[in-house]
Amino acid sequence: MKKLFAAAALLLAMTACGGSHDTPLEGTAWKLASMEAIPVSAVDAEPDFFTLWFDAADTLVSGRTNCNRFFGKYALDGHRLEMKNLGMTRMACPDLQYEEAFVRMLDEVNRYGIRKGELTFYDGDRALATFRSVDPAAMQQ
């Protein structure tokens, strides 16, 4: 009985101290939820608009803006995040100002946080954008 009580107390303590795992950055499909320069109507226009995917095996980030696809390397150190050498397709589309704002934001990111299935990118203490985890099939459009 004492062992059962001790195990239950340990489990409760781990949960209270953040022992439960949140959604991982890598291997999760992310879709933009909010960003100051991009209206929700532009984000929601297509299921794969403004999406991200971090591939841990190759440390590659890829995704789509509202027009073009992008890809590049990323580096993680704890919650510090740097995306570099981003390349992208170059189709001409309407509303390119949203794509430009999104790509500029990716360049400014220096750390991230994940809480309750939401990924937030930061530049220092300033929140830049928030993403929600989505079904990866949404990115295959």
Task: Give the tens place of pLDDT for each residue, 9-68.
Answer: 333 333 333 334 589 999 999 999 999 999 999 999 999 999 999 999 999 999 999 999
Predicted pLDDT at 138: 65
Summary mean pLDDT of the chain? 86
Q: Where are the beta strands (DSSP E) in the chain?
A: 29-34, 51-55, 60-64, 69-77, 80-88, 111-115, 118-123, 126-134
Closest listed residue to residue 29, CA positions, set 46, 52, 56: 52
| Cα 10 to Cα 1, 2, 15, distances in angstroms | 14, 12, 9
Structural domains of the chain in order of their starting residue, each with its CATH number: 26-140 (2.40.128.270)
DSSP summary character for residue 50: T
